[in-house]
Structures are given as structure tokens and as C-alpha cells.
A and B are shown apart, each in its own frame.
Chain A
Amino acid sequence: NAGVTQTPKFQVLKTGQSMTLQCAQDMNHNSMYWYRQDPGMGLRLIYYSASEGTTDKGEVPNGYNVSRLNKREFSLRLESAAPSQTSVYFCASRVGPLSYNEQFFGPGTRLTVL
């Protein structure tokens, strides 16, 4: 099992450009999550999908959109990138929205917006 995979690993954008971060899991998990990690702030939830067909906002959704393409895939889109979106982005998955099981994380995408 590959677990949770993310592409790309690194990306540099200019202000105003758009891009989509891809995430896929092969563990048959129902719930998927997008976080951003900034120094001293821990992980902050951007959007999540409790189950296939649903998406909801997290703590910091502004400037982002998501698509739960199918059970395996959950993408994060930046429509018009801003320097404040420079961060490391992590995708995660869990068996189910109320499961007591842990979340599994991908390796991250390091994004720089100039």
C-alpha cells in the first residue's frame, strides 16, 4: 500500500496563478482532509470531506476550493495564489468521520508564492 500520496512535492507560483494539489489514498478510507502547516502554528484544517460526495470548510478555507473526485481522491485548488498561501500542505485520510482511528498523512507539498 502506498498510503496517502500527494503531487507535486514542490511548487513555485507567481501571485495570481492557479494550481491544483492532488491527493490520493489507497486504504479505502471514507474521510479525507487538507491542512496547511506554518511555523509555530501547527496544522490548520483548510477543508475536509467526511465521506464521498461531501465537503466542508475547516478553519482557514478562504482562497481555496476542494473536490472529492471519488473515494480515493481529494484535490485542493488555489484559484488565484497569494504570498500568504506560501506553506506546506498536507493531505490526510481516516477510516470514517467519527472513527477513533488515527489519521494518515501524505508527505506534503511545499508551495511558495512569489
Chain B
Amino acid sequence: AQSVAQPEDQVNVAEGNPLTVKCTYSVSGNPYLFWYVQYPNRGLQFLLKYITGDNLVKGSYGFEAEFNKSQTSFHLKKPSALVSDSALYFCAVRGLNDYKLSFGAGTTVTVRA
């Protein structure tokens, strides 16, 4: 069975500081990994994905994520956070031969001005 853990319910950072949202996963075989963002009363928006190849993946709005196979992690990062980055972030994983995407519980990011 596949699963995702987001160990922090909340992350608080000051605007301009680096932002990291943690994610670890468990899957049989190689994974497809995704990050989504949800703004209040909205659906989920895709940020970035890891399929294969380079471990550092760049995505929308200046976000990037690093795939670490040995630590089974896929942490989301942004070098300089903006107040507008305040939202709920979800990590998700799928096995290559699995139809279903499994989501973490989500991390609420608050960026203070």
C-alpha cells in the first residue's frame, strides 16, 4: 500500500525567508510524486511533479522540490516566500503501475508580512 506523510500541520515563515514543506512517502517500486496547492474555497492546483531523472524539480510560482530516494522524501521549497503563498499544500504519490493517487493530510503555510 502506498502512503504519504506530511509531518507538519502548519508552517509559519516571514515574507522573504525560505519556505520548506516536508513530505515523505511509501510506495512499492518507483514513485510518481506531486505537489498541489489549495487556496481557500478553491480546488487543488498542480505545482510540480517528479517522474524520473533530475532529482531537483522546478514548478510553478518559483517552487521547487527535491526527490531523495534513500530518504523517501520529496520536500517542497521556495527560496523567498511571499504572503500570497499562504495556502494549504498537499503532497501526493502514485506507484508507476497504480491507478490511484494517495494524498498526505496537508500542511497549512502562513507567510507573515
Q: A102-B34, A102-B46 are in contact. Are A40 and B105 (CB under 8 A)?
A: yes
Residues of A within 8 A of B (CB): 4, 31, 33, 35, 40-45, 48, 50, 56, 58, 90, 92, 97-98, 100, 102-108
Residues 41 to 93 of chain B near chain A (Cβ within 8 Å)? 41-46, 49, 51, 90
Q: How many residues in B have their beta carbons less than 8 Å from beta carbons of A?
A: 23
The answer to whether A40 touches B9 (Cβ under 8 A) is: yes
The answer to whether A106 touches B43 (Cβ under 8 A) is: yes
The answer to whether B32 touches A100 (Cβ under 8 A) is: yes
The answer to whether A98 touches B106 (Cβ under 8 A) is: no
The answer to whether A45 touches B100 (Cβ under 8 A) is: yes
- What's the nearest-Cβ distance from chain A to residue B108, in Å? 10
Q: In the complex, A97→B97 CA distance in Å?
A: 9
The answer to whether A48 touches B104 (Cβ under 8 A) is: no
Residue of B nearest to A108 (CB): B43
Residues from chain A with Cβ under 8 Å of B103 in the complex: 35, 42-44
Interface of chain B, main secondary structure:
loop
Q: A41-B105, A42-B105 are in contact. Are A105 and B43 (CB under 8 A)?
A: yes
- What's the nearest-Cβ distance from chain A to residue B96, in Å? 7
The answer to whether B90 touches A42 (Cβ under 8 A) is: yes
Tell which of B43, B90, B101 has the most Cβ of chain A within 10 Å: B43
The answer to whether A98 touches B99 (Cβ under 8 A) is: yes
The answer to whether B43 touches A100 (Cβ under 8 A) is: no
Q: In the complex, A42→B98 CA distance in Å?
A: 19
- What's the nearest-Cβ distance from chain A to residue B74, in Å? 14
Residues from chain B with Cβ under 8 Å of A100 in the complex: 32, 49, 51
- Which 3 pairs from chain A and chain B are nearest by CB? A105-B43, A42-B103, A105-B44
The answer to whether A42 touches B106 (Cβ under 8 A) is: yes
Q: In the complex, A106→B90 CA distance in Å?
A: 16
